[in-house]
Amino acid sequence: MAELEGLEFGKSDFVLLDEVTMEQFMENLRLRFEKGRIYTYIGEVVVSVNPYRQMDIYGKDTIEAYRGRELYENPPHLYAVSDAAYKAMKRRAKDTCIVISGESGAGKTEASKYIMQYIAAITNPSQRAEVESVKNVLLKSNCVLEAFGNAKTNRNDNSSRFGKYMDINFNFNGDPTGGHINNYLLEKVRGKMVEAATVIIINFFTVISALEVIGFSKEEINSIYQILASILLLGNLQFESDGESVQILGQEAVNQISELTATEPESVSKTLLYRTVATGGGEVIEKGHTEQQACFGRDAFAKALYERLFGWIVGRINTVIEVKDYNPVLHGKNTVIGVLDIYGFEIFDNNSFEQFCINYCNEKLQQLFIELILQQEQAEYQREGITWQHIDYFNNQIIVDLVEQPHKGIISILDEACLTVGNVTDTVCLDSMDTKLAQHPHYTSRKLSPSDKSMEFQKHFRIRHYAGDVTYSVEGILDKNKDLLFQDFKRLMYNSTNPVLKEMWPDGQLSITEVTKRPLTAATLFKNSIVALVDKLACKEPYYVRCIKPNEMKSPMLFDDARCQHQVAYLGLLENVMVRRAGFAYRQPYARFLQRYKMTCEYTWPNHLMASDREAVEAIVTQHGFQDDVAYGHTKLFVRTPRSLFTLEQERAALIPILVLFLQKVWRGALARMRCRRMRAIYAIMGCYKRYKVKAHFWEVERRFANVRNMADYGKSVEWPTPPAALAQFHKNTVMLHRRWWARQIVKKIPPSDMLEVRAKVAALTALSGERKDWGISRAWERDYLANARDCPQTSSGFIRVSKELRNKDEYSQVLFSGFCRKVNRFNKSTDRSLLVTDKFVYKLEPKKQYKVMKRLPLDAFTGLSLTSGVDQMVVLHTSSEDDVLLCLQRGVLCPNQDRVGELVGALVDHFTRENKQRLGSRGHMNKQHAVGLIVAGQRPQLEPSLLTQRNHFTNHTPGIYHCHSCWCSRLALNNCHEMNQSRWRF
């Protein structure tokens, strides 16, 4: 059943009506129409009411909603029956067909277009070009066939004046590979050409585009225009008679027709005015037409031209879309979906030959419909082991026989009248039918029923169809049944130089003496085509769309009860409901029934523990007390009355909100647990990965440094691997350890005599690296330059004597540095002096007075050292008493470019470092009083701030110019700086 629609929209399936009566049927149909629900089911049959307005129910979202779903899962729709036919074709490799029927204006053509669009939309998901091409041609063919086969009538603005059956071929993947179109009974008697031309003009560009997509060449399209123009011109031809012969009024129209049909003007005139016949002796003679015969010939020629044009267009489309070179062994089974857009019953005030053929067609289709429905029902009951009860229904085989039975049927009588030599009139034909069919229960006429004044004598006969009584007029019925087109017209068109026209008239190649058999009548041709159509449909699994026209005003609001009830009657919809409900109104496989209703029973929710689904379904039925209203098949449950189903549906609808809340709760909990497990997994993976990265780093370090002991540089050139973030500090420590180890390996090779110099250079490097451009690291450091004869050969002996005396007196053990310097006081006066730095005292000596001690300061009194970042030799020694010493070291005599500042710094830093280590080792802490602070180029070393005195220091920007960092003044002489004047720099 269909769901997702409330009771305010009525019953979505007529099978579910409380009582199957015409009143309830019409009431439900009217309610759904007024609520905008134009589709309703009868089981698997779709009843469609023309809404006469555009409805937003055919978009891509709707297509997706119906794709692959069952009929009962969504509201009734054309897409549902289309999908059902497609699934049956694809899943079971079963040929299917969709039969669309209804009267003119009921929406059959639109329904067929929507079905085609749906099939095109759900196929070819891989977008293969050849399949897309086939789909485009199939869709565009609708536009072309509408342009040439539809017309505006009193009842329909776009009425299909022909029946169309299209076979769509599918490969094993379910993609369309081609198709074939059959057309039935193109109506040609209502000024059809004018209407068709109007449609083409209105939709000119759309039709041209469609023709080009299908594959019509420009020459073929031009030929179509020429033929249409010829038909219009034929309608303008007039004839006149002078009593002996007939002439054409105006030769200009004949010339134009001749030009358009690529024939000779004389041949056109001759064909219109004369008829060539062969006598019994084989002689060929020409007979002139009367004015009436000429008009009949002209009209027959125009109609035949249009009929042949339409047939050629259909054939041309078929040559494009037909499957060629299909090999089932290579390509799999080729399955088919047929779409039949056929006219429904027509009952007008004046019914003629066309209505007779159309209603006969519907009798055949109705017969097939009833037989297939009953056959399917019976086959399913037998397959499921359900006892089948015979259903009485109207068997219209008697009406079909009335029309098509050989020798006795109406078609045979018409053909006999058409083939009889002599002047057989429509009245004579009616008398023949009255004689032969007088005893038939479904045939009557005014002659047979004199009291029935709704018919006229010698004009009307009536057939009691399954859809109702229809009165037909016999006026013109023989002419419509005959082939009034003379062979001369066929030969004229076959001899045309236009290849399209020549192709349309292959029977014109026969000469007049070769034509020995009369062509079949229109009724016989139509009967043969309908029989072939029914045979095609009978071998397919059918699906039905029954279209209803709600009113004659084309209004979206008006529902004409009488009009609609008449259509419901002749479409047999009420009988269809009865047949559907005669056995069981509802059936469903056990698994699907259980899935839908298991929440209504405590023994089946959420999952049953029984041996089979059938036992679980029995538990549901028993709990609700429906045992007497159901039957159990082998695979399906059959429910007899709709009320049982409604009870289940109502209980299910009441439980749905509760279950939804429960499922939401469970699902939210499941999502939270999933997120928790995912997070745990993520952290576990992250932990494992981090451990792996750590181990991998260890392994890589071990691999790279495995052989460093045997390397010449002890691994200094080995590149360290990039550590993970967690090992950043470990990496620094490891690098430091390796550097220390590397340093120890290098230091081991240094002789003990060089260690003092090495320690001093290391100390200077620590203090001055990156701060001073040149500090003498590249040369040998001698420290005691005053005692070195190479530095001062004249005075070295005097200094050695004085140093020994001082050593004995002050008991120092080591000379840290000695050398010449220039002392500068605050008055900018400079004096040559000598500097002696020992491990206990700093001496200022007068070299000119035999190195007389000018001043002696304890080494512990010095708290810091300042120098510039340039190449000058200026040094400031800071004391705790703020009695700083400013001096400039002199370069060596032999080597005037020596930088001795670095040597002095290295000696002092090394000495104080060792002193501090000794005190720290003995006392456990550092004596701040003996710490040394160093300031170079405006940058203080990273020592404890409290150990550094906040002194002025200088930066060398240009040679000879010093800038005070306190006031940023620039002076050639330091004593001009006001900051310098306030400081106590004395020695």
Indicate the pLDDT class of residue 515, thresholds 50, 70 and 90: low
Relative to beta strand 163-170, strand 246-249 is unpaired
Structure confidence by residue, pLDDT tens digits, 32-66 = 999 999 999 988 899 999 999 999 999 999 999 99
Asked if the structure places residue 404 within a domain, the reply is no
Asked if the structure places residue 655 within a domain, the reply is yes
Indicate the pLDDT class of residue 791, thresholds 50, 70 and 90: low
Is the same domain home to 50 and 102?
A: yes
Above 90 in pLDDT, residue 174? Answer: no
Using DSSP's 3-state secondary structure scheme, residue 494 falls into: helix
Percent of all residues in the chain with a pLDDT value above 70, rounded to a whole number: 86
Question: Are 760 and 903 contacting, i.e. CB atoms less than 8 angstroms apart?
Answer: yes
Q: What is the dihedral of CA 223, 225, 231, 232, to 10 degrees?
A: -160
Tell me which of 969 and 386 has the higher pLDDT: 386
Percent of all residues in the chain with a pLDDT value above 90, rounded to a whole number: 32
Is the same domain home to 574 and 646?
A: no
Mean pLDDT throughout 699-713? Answer: 91
Is the same domain home to 52 and 179?
A: yes
Where would I find the H helices in 166-217? Answer: 192-202, 204-214
At residue 135, the pLDDT reads 86
Indicate the pLDDT class of residue 327, thresholds 50, 70 and 90: low
Structure confidence by residue, pLDDT tens digits, 223-237 = 999 999 999 999 888
Indicate the pLDDT class of residue 562, thresholds 50, 70 and 90: very high
Mean pLDDT throughout 736-761? Answer: 88
At residue 955, the pLDDT reads 36
253-267, 593-607, 959-973: which has the minimum mean pLDDT? 959-973
Above 80 in pLDDT, residue 730? Answer: yes
Tell me, rounded to whole angstroms, the distance of Cα 844 from its chain centroid.
95
At residue 390, the pLDDT reads 64
Asked if the structure places residue 30 within a domain, the reply is yes
Tell me which of 188 and 15 has the higher pLDDT: 15
Above 90 in pLDDT, residue 138? Answer: no
Asked if the structure places residue 742 within a domain, the reply is yes
* Ramachandran region, residue 800 (left: φ > 0; alpha: ψ -120 to 50; beta: rest): alpha
Selection from 128-142, 196-210, 929-943 with the highest mean pLDDT: 128-142
200-209, 396-405, 450-459, 801-810: which has the minimum mean pLDDT? 200-209
545-554, 845-854, 928-937: which has the minimum mean pLDDT? 928-937
CA distance 876 to 887: 7
Mean pLDDT throughout 517-537? Answer: 87
Above 70 in pLDDT, residue 958? Answer: no
Selection from 110-124, 372-386, 574-588, 818-832 with the highest mean pLDDT: 110-124
**Domain final residue pick, 748, 778, 801:** 748
Is the same domain home to 788 and 767?
A: yes
Is the same domain home to 726 and 763?
A: no
List the strands of the sheet with 39-42, edge to edge: 39-42, 45-49, 541-548, 96-101, 335-341, 163-170, 176-184
Asked if the structure places residue 106 within a domain, the reply is yes
Q: Which helix (H) or strand (E) holds 468?
A: strand 468-473
Tell me which of 263 and 973 has the higher pLDDT: 263
Q: Which amino acid is at 770?
A: G
pTM above 0.85, yes or no: no
At residue 154, the pLDDT reads 67
Is the same domain home to 636 and 729?
A: no
At residue 172, the pLDDT reads 83
Asked if the structure places residue 624 within a domain, the reply is yes
Relative to beta strand 874-879, strand 885-889 is antiparallel
What is the b/e burial string over 557-588, where b = at least 16 CB atoms within 10 angstroms of the residue's CB? eebbeebbbbbbbbbbbbbbbebbbbbbbbbb
Is the same domain home to 731 and 758?
A: no
Above 70 in pLDDT, residue 973? Answer: no
132-141, 277-286, 582-591: which has the minimum mean pLDDT? 277-286
Taking each helix axis from N to C end, the angle separating 204-214 and 192-202, rounded to the nearest 10 degrees, works out to 90
Mean pLDDT throughout 709-715? Answer: 89
Mean pLDDT throughout 752-757? Answer: 84
What average pLDDT is seen over the chain?
82
At residue 197, the pLDDT reads 45
Q: Which of 430, 456, 425 is nearest to 443 (CA)?
A: 430
**Domain final residue pick, 557, 585, 613:** 585
Is the same domain home to 50 and 156?
A: yes
Is the same domain home to 801 and 872?
A: yes
CA distance 680 to 686: 10
Q: How many structural domains compose the chain?
A: 4
Indicate the pLDDT class of residue 202, thresholds 50, 70 and 90: confident
- Look at the block and give the residue holding tokens 């009889």: 420
Binding-site entries: 102-109
Mean pLDDT throughout 583-592? Answer: 81
Binding-site entries for ATP: 102-109
- Residue 856: domain span: 751-923+930-936
Structure confidence by residue, pLDDT tens digits, 595-606 = 888 888 888 888
Cis peptide before 76, with omega less than 30 degrees from 0? no
**What's the angle, vertex CA 373, arms to CA 371 and CA 376, rounded to 5?**
100
CA distance 589 to 637: 6
Indicate the pLDDT class of residue 200, thresholds 50, 70 and 90: very low
Q: Taking the chain, what is the end-to-end CA distance rounded to the nearest angstrom?
A: 116
Mean pLDDT throughout 247-258? Answer: 90
Mean pLDDT throughout 624-652? Answer: 84
Above 70 in pLDDT, residue 923? Answer: no
**Domain final residue pick, 660, 679, 699:** 660
Is the same domain home to 534 and 600?
A: no
Could you tell me the CATH number of the domain that includes residue 632? 3.30.70.1590
Above 50 in pLDDT, residue 810? Answer: yes
Asked if the structure places residue 532 within a domain, the reply is yes
Indicate the pLDDT class of residue 195, thresholds 50, 70 and 90: very low
Is the same domain home to 613 and 744?
A: no
Is the same domain home to 729 and 624?
A: no
Could you tell me the CATH number of the domain that includes residue 81? 3.40.850.10
Asked if the structure places residue 601 within a domain, the reply is yes
Structure confidence by residue, pLDDT tens digits, 340-353 = 988 777 788 899 99
At residue 739, the pLDDT reads 92
